[in-house]
Structure 1
Amino acid sequence: MQTSEPSTLYRPAGTQAGLEELRGLLGAALDILGEVAAGRTGPVPPGGPEAAREAARQALAGPLLPPGAPAGPAAVLDELVRPYARWAADITHPAALARMQPPPTTASVAAELVAAVLNQSLHAWESGPFALELDRWLIARLAELAGYGPGAGGTLTSGGSVSNLMALIAARDDTIAAKLGRYSFQEGLLQIGVQPVILAPEGIHFSIARAARILGIGEEHIRAVPVGKDGRMIPAEADRILTELPAGQLAVALVACAGSTDLGIVDPLPEIAEVTRRHGVWLHADAAYGAGALFSRRLRPMLDGLALADSITMDLHKFGWTPASSAALLVRREETLLPFGLQPTTCLSSDDDTCAGYIGLQGTSLQTTRRADALKIAVTMRALGEDTIEAMVDTCHDLARYAAARIAAEPRLELGTEPPLTAVLFRYLPDAPSDADAFNGALRRRALEEGRALIARTHIPAGDGGTRVFLKLMLLNPDTTPEQIDQVIDMLLALAAEQEAATAGA
């Protein structure tokens, strides 16, 4: 059989020749990043979406698969990395305050490169022997950090949304099995003849509704638990809803906030756990953002009762200063992840291999091939150490409190609430109060389009049953200074004054 010779352009990164070529390519890529960084004037170039699209149109004008002899990796890197870097959000910039994207540590980025070069997978022992042990070790340490005891388990995931989805799958299957002795992952919900119900506080993360859709439970079967004036779930209301559920409906999970992304709300976990235990309902704590409080002695009391949850979502690519994806789902009982391991195939594991210790992790995840994300997390945690990462979390919290105090002192700004974590909500108060929502939306877009600041927006419930638009500063860069926060706020006030003057003159 005749086969064509592989091109000399193909050089595996892990070989000696590949590592030498990689050294040169990395140097070239780092030079490009340095040149772009030196020329930056803000957290993103001005021009907004159309300018970004035009830059992409120019850079991507050629075909995906060039015919004939391609230009080679160095030339292609220059063609694509330069515009990619130029139009990347500079998350190290003090005015990059929009999203939960902290600047990753150098150690974590180096570890990410190693993981990519070696390209280990976690589904089978022969795909990554040490990577598997590292993953198991990291999950055990994260479970300890969350307060779980022996018998806990978990898995690394691509993010909080996937962790929440997996938690609700486990909750559905475990609760139905415990209460009905039936297995929904085998029979299907129609055969079992029960309508699963999920309880969650008003304003829970959108990924819960999306999970309900994917699981076939349906958004209509999410029961909203009323919250108090502080935004926290009222345990007595959860107890009432569970008690009054009609026949044919089975509550399989109650989802609690453990640090909401806007207001930093932590529901009363000990009291909620008491309710769920009494009714035999799985308690899931969404601590994707709030888990960062575990690193701080000052903030850790916020999460009292976290270890009472049956499952916990935790994102290390928020407070862990690692590149995405670095998330985890932790479970109080390792065996509750068993439904993910019921594959009919025998190509990934056999009984004799399993007995001999050749055990992969295909049975704990939605994914089969799964990258070794544990390396960058473990490297970062060990490189920073307990005291340093605590100081980083506390510094970000101090910056949020500083920003809140500065905003509260400005007569034209309204502070949403004192920040429990590092998100600061506020809004500009224009002369025409009825236009405040549209005004703040336009103010944010102007800051983005001019490349002056990257800030987020959100909708916060109001007393009249509606919502109000608030802007959001997300403080996750401990290198930011109070003076830089002042500059951002001063800039936004100046833009708002210009916008208001232009509106009045129109």
Structure 2
Amino acid sequence: MSPLASGPQGPTTLRPLLTTVLDALTAGAATRDGPLPAGGPTEVAARLREALGDPLPEHGDEDALRTLVQALAAGAADPADPLCTAHLHCPPLAVATAADLAASVLNPSLDSWDQAPAASELEALVTRALAVEVYGETGQARSAGDALVTTGGTESNQLALLLAREHHGHTQLVCAENAHHSLRRATWLLGLPEPVTVPAPAGTMDPAALGEALTALPGPLLVAATAGTTDAGLIDPLPDIAALCETHGARLHIDAAYGGGLLFSDRHRPKLDGLARAHTVTLDLHKLGWQPIAAGLLAVRDRHDLAALAHHADYLNADDDTEAGLPDLLGRSLRTTRRPDILKIAVTLKTLGRTGLGDLVDQVCARAAEFAELIHRHPRFELHDRPTISTVLFRPTDATDDTVAAVRRTLLTEGRAVLGRARLDDRLWLKATLLNPHTGADDLAALLKLVEGHTPR
């Protein structure tokens, strides 16, 4: 009989398996020997298929854990490698990862209190504390806000649109042309009209154009601003946008999936002035929070807005159980079965505190500023602009877009470096999103040298 991870024998069962996993991770990383496996999609797929063999054999293989973990590690993109900088894909903190293991072992399901007694209380306490971080405190009492745990920005943005629709009716979304793609998808899923887009001439929403749109459009209206764009990490002029929404009676949502982590930094928090004036705010702590995926949140200024999510299933939240004091969890998510992602967040917040997390934020922002300066001084590179958060866009001087794209793909195929791409000002740029606090000046110089060495003269 296969042993279980939980119960009295769980720790004894897991201990040797953890050694197997850690050894396999080490061996896989050594095989990879870089930020990405070499060979491109075809060769990586072939190696994985060989390691897997028959996915469902007639008889089991006791060595499967070691074999597959090693194969996955060998074929992984390693976000802790300083040359892996393409996406908002952070290296997770060890303490958060350890907490995530405990969540998997205990396996609470946050769809009813009797499946997650402690986890449901932990979620309530930590999400309200994070809502206070976003919205502050009101008078002598804590903010009336709250937050829901989500799988990330896509789910959070969809929930924000759903709450707006339920509060105001058939809502018209207004957003900048560079807003996250999940907003447009959410309007489709929710049966809302196509978004009205306003220009973002400098990469951020144009307040004058927004004002014209709000004046011309019939309500009800929802404006979605961005604090940390995916392409360049830019922040919309939040105070101006909030003032326009208040003048025109429009609801405001701010997608701060990337930039929300600046809240922890005394130095960078002022960049989010205006955030607390939004009705809803998207946060992703698996970006500037260094959490294993998933660790998304949707903060709401007025927790009464969450009443729209109320749902009844007699086997989970019977009326007499609720009246007797058992917490009703179904209004905390559109999902039924939910793992306790709040545990790793709570452990991280408690272990590092605001100061510790703020230090990590300051470090990656400082590395981005250093990298931008290095590019600015290099005669063979062009810098798009100084970074707002930790994203740097650059390109070889006088290179064509085809060359920029080819250099990126070559580095990916060779497994040498992982760079992203972004199109701004009608040109293609290489994108480095720095989320590794341990990245140093030598790593930044090595990344630039690799790109230079792969660019035709």
- TM-score w.r.t. structure 1 length? 0.86
Query: How far does the alpha carbon of each residue in 1:255-307 deviate from its partner, in whole angstroms, 9 at most, with x for none?
Result: 00112122222222222222222332210000000011111111111000100
Matched residues in 2 for 1:148 and 1:381: separation?
17
Distance in structure 2 (CA, Å) of the matches to 1:278 and 1:175: 17
Number of aligned residue pairs? 452
Check whether the contact 2:253–2:279 (CA below 8 A) recurs between aligned residues: yes
| CA-to-aligned-CA distance 1:181-231 (integer Å, 9 cap, x gap) | xxxxxxxxxxxxx6x42100121111111111111124xx21112335x33
Identical aligned pairs, as a percentage? 39
Show CA shifts across 1:457-481 (max 9, x none). Answer: 1111x2xxxx211111111111010
Q: Secondary structure at the match of 1:312?
A: strand
CA distance in 2, matches of 1:307, 1:63: 50
Alignment partner of 2:127: what SS? helix
Q: What is the correspondence of 1:43-192 to structure 2 with a 5 Å cutoff? A: 43-64=35-56, 66-67=57-58, 69-72=59-62, 75-149=63-137, 150-176=143-169
For 2:64 and 2:314, how far apart are their aligned partners in 1?
A: 42
What SS is found at the alignment partner of 1:97? coil
Shift, 1:40, TM fit: 4.2
Letter in 1 for 2:451: L
Q: Deviations over 1:121-158 (max 9, x none)?
A: 11111010110011011111111111244211120000
Contact 1:132–1:360 under 8 Å retained in 2 = no
Q: Deviations over 1:330-364 (max 9, x none)?
A: 00011112222134x32211222212221132112
CA distance in 2, matches of 1:360, 1:24: 39
Contact residue 122 and residue 360 of structure 1 kept, 8 A: no
Aligned-residue RMSD, C-alpha: 1.6
Please tell me whether residue 212 in structure 1 is matched to residue 187 in structure 2. Answer: yes
Superposed CA offset, 1:403-439 (max 9, x none): 1011111222111111010000011134xx5xx1111
Bigger mean CA offset, 379-388 vs 322-331:
379-388
**Contact 1:148–1:332 at 8 Å: present in 2 too?**
no
Pairing partner for 2:315 from 329, 339, 347: 347
Contact 2:32 2:38 in 1 (8 A): no
Task: Indicate the SS of the match to 1:457.
Answer: strand
Q: Could you tell me which of 231, 237, 243 is aligned with 2:209?
A: 237
The 8 Å contact of residues 175 and 280 in structure 1, kept in 2 or not, is answered as no
Q: Is 1:448 matched with 2:412?
A: yes
Question: Which residue identity is paired with 1:54?
Answer: A
For structure 2, the 5+ residue unaligned runs are 138-142
* Alpha-carbon separation, structure 2, partners of 1:88 and 1:227: 35
The residue number in structure 1 matching 2:19 is 27
Say which of 434, 445, 449 aligns to 1:486: 445
Q: Is the 8 A contact 2:235 2:388 kept in 1?
A: no
Match for residue 474 of structure 1 among 433, 437, 448: 433
The whole-number CA distance in structure 2 between the counterparts of 1:197 and 1:387 is: 40
Q: Retained in 1: the 8 A contact 2:84–2:418?
A: yes
Q: Deviations over 1:93-128 (max 9, x none)?
A: 111111212211111111000000000011111010
Cα offset, 1:51, TM superposition: 1.0
Paired amino acid for 1:317: H
| Partner-residue secondary structure (3-state), 2:364 | helix
Q: Does 1:458 align with 2:430?
A: no
Do the aligned partners of 1:265 and 1:420 also contact (CA within 8 Å) in 2?
A: yes
State the distance in 1 between where 2:85 and 2:55 align.
Answer: 36
Structure 1 residues 252 and 172, CA gap change in structure 2 (3 angstroms): farther
SS of residue in 1 equivalent to 2:204: coil
Q: TM-score when scaled to structure 2?
A: 0.95
Please name the residue that 2:264 is paired with: 295
Q: Tell me the SS of whatever aligns to 1:348.
A: helix
Q: Is the 8 A contact 1:295 1:390 kept in 2?
A: yes
CA contact (8 A) 1:422 1:476 kept: yes
Q: Check whether the contact 1:175–1:281 (CA below 8 A) recurs between aligned residues.
A: no
Matching residue's letter, 1:268: P
Partners of 2:203 and 2:32 lie apart in 1 by 40
